[in-house]
Amino acid sequence: MAEAAEKEAKGPVAAVVEEAREASNDTDRSAEQPKSQAQKNRENLKAVGTVHGTAVVAALTLFGAAHTWALVSGWSLAAVTSVAAALVAGVVISSIAHEWGHFSGAALSGSRYKVARKPFNYFFMFNFDMPANSTRQALWMSWGGLTGSWAVVAAVLVLVPIDSWGSAALIATVLGQAINASIFEVPVVLRTLRTGEFEQALAARLESPGVVRMPGLIVGLLAFALMT
């Protein structure tokens, strides 16, 4: 009441000006409030996508240059360089596709997660909130990663002709990466389906002495030998 009387005493024009000022202050205060996690996720996703996209383009460009050099020159040095570039490109592309597959599975299943401001440990991009998410959401996230890995294998087989050591090495690398991802994650998925406890299944797999990169390396070497 006192506030209304004070505004009336100031006159209609002054009252309107004061109300506009108060509205402006309210807007400023709301703008200062912390961003929601969804807003942070969207902003961070753009930043991570830029880094990952740049890495993929750079890796493919490096491979393409080395591959062309090897085909045009016929030098042994160029051929070896193209194989090294193929290894780098294969690891980068497969790892990034795997992580985006995990993220896609989590997002499509409505999971709770936090996207990192930048990739950590080279490729990881988000934290999956295991206590808050259901078994179904965890399985979606897991299958998403495997889908990403094997989608790269399919794409490379279709798009890359086997015409050099470099192209064979690229195919062998993404195949080996997909094998390793499957050997690690399929047991987690199967145990989760049996027990309904994804976090325990993942912890048990991480502690397993059998988790190594050797199977993918062996398969990759065999594939490379068969293609060359």
Q: What is the pLDDT of residues 154-198, one digit of tens each?
A: 999 999 999 999 999 999 999 999 999 999 999 999 999 999 999
Determine how many CB atoms are found less than 10 A away from the CB of residue 22.
10
pLDDT the model gives residue 210: 65
- Split at pLDDT 50, 70, 90, the class of 213 is confident
Q: Average pLDDT, stretch 71-81? A: 95
Q: Give the pLDDT score at 11.
A: 52
What mean pLDDT do residues 101-124 have? 94
pLDDT at 205 over 60: yes
Measured between alpha carbons, how far is residue 111 from residues 36, 59, 88, 132, 205 in Å?
16, 31, 32, 8, 22
**Residue in the block written with tokens 């209609």:** 12
User: Which of the four pLDDT bands, split at 50, 70 and 90, describes residue 8?
Assistant: very low
Q: In Å, what is the CA distance from 172 to each residue of 60, 77, 89, 104, 220?
A: 15, 20, 11, 25, 5
- The packing angle between helices 165-195 and 76-108, to 10°, is 30
Distance in angstroms (rounded) separating the CA atoms of residues 102 and 48: 14
